[in-house]
Amino acid sequence: MTRALVEECERVGHALVEVAESGEPGKVNRSLVEAIASHGLFDRLFSDNTVTATDLCAMRQGLARVSTESETAFAVQGLGAIPIHLTGQAALKGRVIPEVRRGGTVAAFALTEPGAGSDAGALVTTAERDGDGFRLSGEKAYISNAPEADVYTLFARTTPDAGSRGITAFVVTSDMDGLSGEHIPMLSPHPLGRLHLDGVFVPGENVLGQVDNGFRVAMQTLDLFRPSVGAFALGMAEAALRIATSHATTRTAFGAPISDFQGVSHQLADVRLAIESAELLVYSAAAAHDDSDTETLTGKAAMAKLHATETAQLAVDTAIQVLGARGLEADSTLAHLYLEVRAPRIYEGTSEIQRNIIAREMFNGRI
């Protein structure tokens, strides 16, 4: 079942390649978002029951095998709007989600700030009560799809000095007065930017979940998405390994295919092993989420994300080594993957933060 969905999404990825490549690097590709919608992928995300972590992983893995741009456009739309789907009031959901699902509205998830990355609970964007709503002021940084997104799930501080307990999740739309931003050009062609909030008025009905309980909204979303960052990495690792194995069996040197040299074949065997183990971890973490296994989910998701993203880095680097100079041609798939593979080791919790989580969960006896 899962394998069939991975393969189905791989086929969708192929159908999306042309529109994905027609986009401008570093900018939101609205035609791509609409095309993803036309293949029904957002319908799976925003169905009445919300997507399972297992299906989300399968979709991301399949897309990533073929088109990282499509995968990222799909995932960020989900990350930005799933909190609204899960916790928004009915009227708000009714206004926002159908348009997100249709691909006509682009969503984003705005948690990180210049002074609060790994330590997201230290965020300082303020939300002060004003009549029946709140006024938001501050800055968000490194937000995928910003500043072009139409709708943001955005986190701001409602209670000072309360750490992660004083944060509220809001739905902020691009037409609100006082919201501005600019792109941050990145090494990878990822659409991403900064947001400035200068007394942005947000009505009370745009609060997600409870006031001061926004960190829970963020964590609920990240619990669903963290194993799937591993699945994205897995898809990239598989793509790199396919290129490398194909090359190794056809390229000859010293009178033999280079796959005959143990120095080459063992490198690829190590990558295959790492991919297999990463896949087991990713789907084990997804199953823990879907089974509401709150005891082991956090630790398993951290192991899956850590191992899969580091495996993808190894796979792409090894593939380039096996292709030799060809692997570094600027317009090659591997060169593209080399730029894409780095960021997932940083976002949604760096590798160091995942190790902290694994250690904590291990010492607490949960894993």
Nearest approach, Cβ of residue 73 and ligand FAD (Å) = 12
Residue nearest ligand FAD (C-beta atom): 117
Nearest approach, Cβ of residue 187 and ligand FAD (Å) = 9
Catalytic residue chosen out of the listed positions 7, 348, 352, 361: 348
d(CA 257, CA 254): 8
Q: By C-beta, is 111 or 358 nearer to ligand FAD? A: 111
Is 21 an active-site residue? no
Nearest approach, Cβ of residue 78 and ligand FAD (Å) = 11
Q: Which residues bind ligand FAD (CB under 6 A)?
A: 109-112, 117-118, 142-144, 186, 190, 192, 343, 346-347, 350, 352-353, 356
d(CA 277, CA 312): 12
Task: Tell me the residue type at 151.
Answer: V
Q: Which two tokens stand for residue 332?
A: 């090659």
Q: Give the three-state DSSP class for 241.
A: helix
Nearest approach, Cβ of residue 126 and ligand FAD (Å) = 17
Nearest approach, Cβ of residue 348 and ligand FAD (Å) = 6
Q: By C-beta, is 235 or 258 nearer to ligand FAD? A: 235
Q: By C-beta, is 248 or 302 nearer to ligand FAD? A: 302
Report angle CA 213, 225, 191 to the nearest 5 degrees. 100
Q: By C-beta, is 15 or 346 nearer to ligand FAD? A: 346
Q: Which residue has the tokens 């709140």?
A: 134
Q: Residue 284 class from Cβ within 10 Å (0-12 exposed, 13-18 middle, 19+ buried)?
A: middle
d(CA 352, CA 118): 10
Strand partners, 250: none
Q: By C-beta, is 63 or 192 nearer to ligand FAD? A: 192
**CB of 267 within 8 A of CB of 318?**
yes
Q: Which two tokens stand for residue 24?
A: 């401008």
Nearest approach, Cβ of residue 174 and ligand FAD (Å) = 15
Q: Residue 253 class from Cβ within 10 Å (0-12 exposed, 13-18 middle, 19+ buried)?
A: exposed
Q: Is the Cα torsion angle 121, 361, 75, 86 positive or negative in sign?
A: negative
Q: By C-beta, is 236 or 258 nearer to ligand FAD? A: 236
**CB of 143 within 8 A of CB of 125?**
no
Long-range contacts of 320-325 (CB under 8 A, 24+ apart): 321/267, 322/244, 322/247, 322/248, 322/258, 322/264, 322/267, 322/268, 323/243, 323/244, 323/247
Indicate which residues carry an active-site annotation. 348
